[in-house]
Chain A
Amino acid sequence: MQTTILLITLVLMAATLALILRAVLATDGPPPSDTAPKTRIRLLWTLVVFGVVLSVATLREWPHTSAGSDSMVVNITSGQWWWETDTTEIPLGQQVEFHVTSDDVNHGLGIYDPDMRLVVQVQAMPTYTNKVVHTFDQPGTYQILCMEFCGIAHHDMAYEFDVVEENS
């Protein structure tokens, strides 16, 4: 997923840059045609319409998934510089609702799969419990890393848990 996001971003950046440079570097060519204002208005409307479509398409199904009735709850507490959970094993394919909080400052719960890809994250904040839902579709050892700067041992704030096939 992240690679797709990167590629789409790079293509959009390159295409925009190419369009701008086409005009910016044509200093010795002909001046802009009389239709330039119309082109601009068309561009603005295109951007607006695209934005509406994109917003509807990406927000109609709310990206922060709600937990189903059969989801498993895992409580996670964080602090400088540790994580604590009420389980270290999660069944494969089981929807999990993480309840995340902090005992001291703001932390960020980032769950990394066995290939060290970030699969889901949510903030951990004192006095609040943040809920995030994820279904693990790959067995193995996952890591929880801190995603929010929390002091001098921020980078040491790592924790492991396993996603296991139920019959194992």
Chain B
Amino acid sequence: MSATDSNPLMAPTNPHAGIIKSTMLLGGVVFLLMMIFGLIMRAAQGGLLELDPTLFYLLLTAHGAGMVGSAALSGAAILWYFCARHLDLRGGIYLAFLGLFLLGVVLILGAIFVGQYGGAWTFLFPLPAISGGAWEAGAAVTFILGYLFIGVGFLLYYLELGLKISAKYRGLFGGLGWRYLFGGSDENLPPPTIVAASSVLVFNTIGIVFGAAVIAANIVNLLFPDFVVNPLFAKNATYFFGHVFINATIYMAVVAVYELLPDYTGRPWKTTKLFIGAWAAVVIFVQAVYFHHLLQDVNMPAWTLALGQIISYASGVPLIGVTVFSLAIYIKGSGLKWDLPISLLVMGTVGWGIGSIPAIIDGMLAVNKLMHNTQWVPGHFHIYLLLGEVAMAFGFSVWLVKGKSQEVMSGLDKLVFRAYMLGGAGFVLIFLWSGASSIPRRWAVHYEAWQLQSQLASAFALVVVLATTALVVRYALGLLRKA
């Protein structure tokens, strides 16, 4: 397979296009299924349907793991696709990654729906081993092994990216652009996609290693209950891994904007010192910020909590000041003609930026005391996932099957886009309102006074599910048309 470095309009000739298209179809279907799970949960909280709490928590676990998994899978597919424009990547490695990922998914689904494991996707030690009779140790081990296989797949994936980037750009420092940043020559300067890939592979590899450590500790604890780990240490490792991993999904997906927006605007997304500096900040911030998940763990050293708040705010600076600002500059006055792919990609970037605001506010200690683990939390992460990463993933998908004649949005495309955006906005705003109403997150049964919000959220969720169904069907038909 040869690298395709020059022409950005190469969707049909990308050597990995076939497997990437299949991956995006899988990701899209799982997104849809998980949204349906989400709708069922909100409807149950709203008293609109009867749902056994045990089943609710199984759906909650599946929804969390499935959404994060689909975001990771689609992000990885996008990054791989565009890295293949610049690097000679081996398709076999991607297949191995995908195989390990799917094996992990099978184990996770089996653990949930056969083994009745319902400990949530960010399980905290020692919950997997102390289920109160809900599941056996075997189910928890199976669930955790699923994570392990997915993690191994990602390490393999990043190893391939790292090797190829190092070979082409004279080491990872070259790929990160740090040599140029610190006064080196701009010769062989990596494109934005490679800077992003280098950054993500650095911080997500570290995150996965920490995740593997806590996973191993849980497995040993499940098999040999006398072995225990410090629960606060385990919590640190879990949130470090979880935070880094979910953020990596968005940072992988955003390369679709770097690569595709220039096709629409005629203005290439450039690798500047500011761009490299922003990504260097991301590498540090995304790892240092996880303390903001522990602001109510008062046994943590005070400086870690202060750092969590400060870095939480700082993380928004490169996002809004560089990525979102650049997006606006590249688009303004460009003559861009809106179609469904670019509309979704731009919405994803803007949604990501806007979603950081309630997250930053929740990252303040004084606020966190009142908002932590209320529905404010799913409020902010659904903004930068549902209206961020997932929108980018669907934008990329519909671009993959875009016909040459489809230059503007059809009436149906406009309807689907608006339904997704407005349904999604309504859905996430109700989460924020619910958080401000002190409604706790992850409760299977809501008190009557809390049910109005859940009922309204269910209506918006239904709109999102319908719009997503249309996106998945549109993409599947596009694949059939192109086949």
Contacts and interface: CB of A to CB of B under 8 A. Distances in A.
A122 B350 contact: no
A108 B10 CA distance: 52
B449 interface: yes
Contacts of A148: 124, 373
Contacts of B321: 40, 43-44, 47
B234 to A, nearest CB: 10
A55 B309 contact: yes
A29 to B, nearest CB: 5
Interface residues of B, number: 79
A6 B429 CA distance: 10
Interface string B201-216: 0000000000000000
B130 interface: yes
Contact of B231 (A29, A106, A145, A146): A106
A71 B435 CA distance: 30
Interface of B is mostly: helix
Interface hub of A2, A128, A152 (most chain B Cβ within 10 A): A152
Interface stretch (A87-95, A109-117, A159-167): A109-117
Interface range on chain A (Cβ under 8 Å from partner): 35 or more
Interface stretch (B23-31, B217-225, B297-305, B389-397): B297-305
A55 B310 contact: yes
Nearest to A5: B367
Nearest to B380: A9
Count chain B CB atoms within 10 A of each CB in A3, A8, A23, A128 and give the residue with the most.
A23
A105 B127 CA distance: 6
Contact of B436 (A3, A149, A156): A3
A102 to B, nearest CB: 9
Contacts of A117: 438
Interface stretch (B82-90, B97-105, B155-163, B356-364): B356-364
A96 B367 CA distance: 20
B132 A153 contact: yes
Interface of A: 1-3, 5-6, 8-10, 12-13, 16-17, 20-21, 23-24, 26-32, 36, 40, 43-44, 47-48, 51, 54-55, 58-59, 62-64, 80-81, 104-106, 108, 110, 112, 116-123, 125-128, 130-132, 145-156
Interface of B: 53-54, 57, 60, 118-120, 124, 126-127, 130-132, 134, 230-232, 235, 274, 296-299, 302, 305-306, 309-310, 313-314, 316-317, 320-322, 324-325, 327-329, 331-338, 346, 350, 353-354, 357-358, 361, 364-367, 369-374, 429, 432-433, 435-438, 440, 442-445, 447, 449
